[in-house]
Amino acid sequence: MTKFLSGAAVCAISFAFVTEAAATEWNVSVWGKRRAFTEHIEKIAELVSEKTGGEFTMNISYGGLGKNTDNLDGISIGAFEMAQFCAGYHPDKNRAITVLELPFLGVRDLEEEVAASRAVYAHPAVAKEMAQWNARMLMTSPMPQYNLVGTGEPRDTLASMEGMRVRATGGLGEAFKTVGAVPTSVTSSEAYNAMESGVVDTVAFAQHAHLSFGTINSADWWTANLNPGTVNCPVVVNIDAYEALSDAEREALDGSVDAAIAHYLVNYAELLKRWDDILAEKNVQKVEFSDDQIAAFKAKAADPAREAWIKSMESQGIPGQELYDVVMSALEKQRASN
């Protein structure tokens, strides 16, 4: 009887071990804190767990696995299975998707941002470049057009931007250069301290980031309609980890992307509805640029940046013109569908 019980116990332990080993657990590297920018990641983790009966779970770490600027490197070496990053942090590593960061692309809302990103992510040149980092595109993190918060007197003309020190990365930084500003690419987590210490005069973010990283708390003013562009921040998965998934797990992951993005869009819309109240609550002045000033900014920044980007990409063997055309076509299709 003792031997029988011992054998049963061994079998039970062995079964538990096999069950545990069969479960899939992914580590996900993001940064900051849970916010509108990460809601689709939280949602996809929830959906994947539900669909697989808890057999495929995700541990989402806000800064505990690596710095935001190192997330693509972490994916490449398999330090974690899934991560979010922004193209402007290392444009040399993800050249093809920086087309989505060109200034004044004319993206009007988050749905258009999603459409443009999806079209670009599906391009073979993007898949090829990401494969160099053992990364596979999963979904975008759509953000509205960036605008500035600043201290002191409002910068409400292009002339007033001469010498302005601005936290702006990628194509946005290049756009501000064209009007005499001095961009710096401190990370989002460092932006508040840079503003507080006077390292920068202004910070370019989407609304959620001004809230999450505290820059709105030090601001005297906010540009309501400058809208020079935005940054593109994909969520990627490690290719080896993705290919190791069972068919059911892979279906649960891929099949949850649309619902996760839809959840993100609804959540972000609620934030945008509250934005004017937030400005009033924090006594931040809303600054509006004239149509002439915006047109002048666009003339200085948009066409030269686009042509320079296309030329640079083509010289590196990346189909720059084709990628730009993909963005424009995606925007046209999205507008036609509405």
CA distance 159 to 175: 14
CB 41 within 8 A of CB 236: no
How many CB atoms lie under 10 A from the CB of residue 135?
25
When comparing pLDDT for 20 and 84, which is higher?
84
pLDDT tens per residue across span 260-280: 999 999 999 998 899 999 999
Give the model's confidence band at 18: pLDDT under 50 very low, under 70 low, under 90 confident, else very high. Answer: very low
In order of 15, 18, 22, the CA distances from 8 in angstroms are 10, 15, 21
* pLDDT per residue as tens digits for the range 281-336: 999 999 999 999 999 999 999 999 999 999 999 999 999 999 999 999 999 999 99
Residue 7 has pLDDT above 80, yes or no: no
pTM of the model: 0.85
For residue range 75-120, what is the model confidence (pLDDT) as tens digits? 999 999 999 999 989 999 999 999 999 999 999 999 999 999 999 9
Task: Provide the CB-side half-sphere exposure for 176 (13 A, CA).
Answer: 29
According to DSSP, the β-strands at 221-223 and 56-62 are unpaired
| pLDDT over 70 at 226, yes or no | yes
What is the chain's mean pLDDT, rounded?
A: 92
**pLDDT for the residue numbered 11:** 47
Q: Name all domains of the chain by residue range, CATH numbers in brackets.
A: 24-141+232-271 (3.40.190.170), 147-230+274-337 (3.40.190.170)
